């Protein structure tokens, strides 16, 4: 074993670590030395969003000590920024050890003289964002690994506006965390009087806020028996989604029993991710059996939403994240106009890898549409920039996330479920389904179709292979893709756009991000985006076609699929 790894292992065996931790290290030494090496070969990185990793002993794992050290660094930074006093809110999801990590985090903050509002039990991530703003906290933490497998947990850090950390705070917090070299530098206890439990009162305020997002309560009243199937996939959504739907006025909500109980082992799924059809299979089966109007599912911390609907042939299908976003954006834009509450300063926000169809809808309705980097923290940052000048309506991205209204600053699966169910009721009033509405929008604005592929390069040189791939695209970009000329090359790392045909270039007014985009003459858009934490690169494809009438949907849809496959083949992916 590498000498540096051995030194770390010895430091934990001889240091102030609990007996159970030392016993587990010795067991790994004897039985699984490779696993031990992986647990100690590096420090679990505190990235721009916080921590995420496998649970277990070691510097490269989520455990009491790595969580405590991260919290000490974050506490030090908060106290520097807010010398007049600091308060934080803390929540957690249903994952194994999430409560323990939340309590550990609370104890460290409290020992540093920080006032802590700790949720009494599991709660959705969006409620944490809402609580930070409502309680006027300076920061916050939610312990969750979102939709990762059961072996993982995580730690997301928030700022005083309820959003995840953005510059300069993200890098500054990382610097403070990296200064904590030993668990002995952590203040583990001594401030218990600074911890205050919160729960039902905050739930009530949050649910009233969500109810205020309803646009057509009179339509819900007419369709209160809309058949809704909902699955929390063993997560926190069960706490708030059913009461929020009841508050909206829906009286025919059916919970998927097999997935209704919070359980960090996620016994019915491999990945507790509503993007995966496997995770939604129980819900799809139940929706089909009872001939439901809509199926909704949320991930373990209830910030992501997926919906299932019947297609034009009566078959149950899952809408992708882009389609769900288009439906939600269009609904709020149309509804605000219809109700007479649309304003000239209304704006919506999406991301650089989300469907351009949103831009087309916004432009046709004279609503400003801004594109930001991937991640809801950048949507929140744009709201902050435009606050007092423009009126934020909705934000969203292709990864099954929506943020409706400005009372929270992170994606919110709870309000998204409520809004999508209201939309289903609204369309039912007009005699059509959400799927039929989506097809009608394709006829009206053009048929945009998206796809995503993710390529993993395993081994120690995986990251280098991906870096080389990006460098090749940068230094020698294709002039054509699938027979269509590249008319724009957008390099977000260099913050520069260019036209390869003319050599013309222009600045991109967004923070640096390692993303490349190729815009083609035929309206297609291809994006390449490496992961910052895994040896993985994602390619996003968006193609555009024309749909003259709903009856042509199947044919044009197949043509679009063929076009995306041809682009992928031409790029040798």
Active site annotation includes 146: yes
Look at residues 288, 242, 302 and name the one whose alpha carbon lies nearest to residue 92.
302
| 282's tokens | 């129980």
State the helix-helix crossing angle for 413-429 and 434-445, rounded to 10 degrees: 80
Nearest to 124 by CA among 206, 52, 54: 206
Contact between 429 and 219 under an 8 Å Cβ cutoff? The reply is yes
CA dihedral (464, 470, 473, 476) positive or negative: negative
146, 163, 399, 527: the catalytic one is 146
3 state DSSP class of 223: coil
Residue pair 466/460 in contact by the 8 Å Cβ criterion: no
> Residues near 462 by Cβ (< 8 Å), separated by ≥ 6?
456, 535
| Both structure tokens of 10 | 């010895």
Number of residues that this document lists for the chain: 573
| Calpha distance 290→269 (Å, rounded) | 22
Helix axes 434-445, 357-364, angle to 10 degrees: 70
Token reading at 7: 């030194």
R_g of the chain, CA atoms, integer Å: 24
- Would strands 87-92 and 152-158 be described as parallel, antiparallel, or unpaired? unpaired
Q: Which residues participate in catalysis according to the annotation?
A: 146
């Amino acid at each position: 074993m590498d000498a540096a790894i051995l030194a770390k292992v010895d430091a934990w065996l001889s240091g102030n670590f609990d007996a159970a931790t030392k016993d587990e290290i010795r067991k790994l030494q004897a039985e699984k030395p490779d696993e031990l090496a992986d647990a100690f070969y590096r420090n679990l990185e505190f990235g721009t969003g916080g921590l995420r990793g496998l649970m277990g002993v070691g510097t490269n794992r989520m455990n009491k000590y790595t969580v405590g050290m991260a919290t000490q660094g974050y506490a030090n930074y908060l106290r520097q920024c807010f010398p007049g006093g600091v308060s934080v809110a803390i929540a957690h999801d249903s994952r194994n050890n999430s409560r323990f990590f939340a309590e550990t985090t609370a104890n460290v903050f409290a020992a540093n003289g920080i006032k802590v509002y700790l949720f009494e039990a599991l709660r959705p991530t969006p409620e944490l964002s809402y609580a930070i703003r409502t309680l006027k906290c300076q920061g916050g933490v939610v312990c969750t690994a979102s939709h990762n497998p059961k072996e993982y947990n995580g730690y997301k850090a928030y700022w005083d506006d309820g959003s995840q950390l953005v510059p300069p705070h993200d890098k500054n917090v990382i610097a403070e965390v990296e200064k904590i070299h030993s668990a002995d530098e952590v203040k583990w206890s001594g401030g218990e009087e600074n911890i205050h439990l919160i729960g039902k009162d905050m739930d009530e305020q949050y649910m009233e806020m969500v109810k205020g997002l309803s646009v057509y309560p009179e339509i819900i009243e007419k369709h209160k028996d809309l058949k809704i199937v909902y699955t929390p996939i063993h997560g926190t959504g069960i706490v708030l989604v059913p009461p929020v739907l009841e508050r909206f006025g829906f009286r025919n909500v059916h919970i998927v029993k097999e997935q209704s109980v919070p359980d960090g082992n996620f016994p019915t799924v491999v990945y507790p991710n509503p993007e995966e059809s496997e995770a939604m299979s129980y819900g799809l089966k139940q929706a089909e059996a009872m001939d439901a109007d809509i199926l909704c599912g949320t991930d373990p911390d209830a910030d992501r939403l997926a919906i299932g609907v019947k297609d034009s042939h009566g078959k149950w299908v899952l809408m992708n994240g882009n389609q769900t976003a288009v439906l939600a954006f269009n609904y709020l834009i149309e509804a605000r106009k219809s109700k007479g509450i649309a304003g000239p300063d209304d704006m919506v926000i999406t991301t650089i890898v989300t469907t351009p169809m949103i831009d087309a809808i916004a432009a046709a309705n004279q609503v400003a549409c801004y594109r930001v980097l991937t991640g809801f923290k950048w949507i929140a940052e744009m709201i902050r920039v435009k606050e007092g000048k423009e009126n934020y309506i909705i934000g969203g991205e292709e990864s099954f996330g929506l943020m409706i209204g400005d009372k929270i600053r992170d994606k919110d699966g709870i309000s998204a479920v409520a809004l999508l169910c209201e939309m289903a009721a609204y369309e039912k009033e007009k005699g059509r389904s959400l799927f039929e509405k989506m097809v009608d929008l394709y006829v009206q604005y053009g048929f945009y179709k998206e796809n995503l592929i993710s390529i993993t390069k395993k081994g120690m040189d995986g990251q280098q292979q991906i870096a080389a791939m990006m460098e090749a695209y940068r230094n020698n970009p294709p002039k054509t893709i699938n027979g269509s000329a590249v008319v724009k090359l957008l390099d977000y790392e260099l913050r520069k756009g260019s036209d390869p045909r003319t050599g013309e270039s222009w600045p991109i007014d967004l923070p640096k991000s390692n993303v490349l985009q190729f815009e083609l003459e035929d309206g297609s858009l291809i994006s390449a985006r490496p992961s910052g934490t895994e040896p993985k690169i994602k390619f996003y494809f968006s193609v555009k076609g024309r749909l003259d009438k709903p009856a042509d949907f199947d044919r044009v849809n197949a043509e679009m699929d063929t076009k995306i496959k041809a682009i992928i083949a031409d790029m040798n992916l």
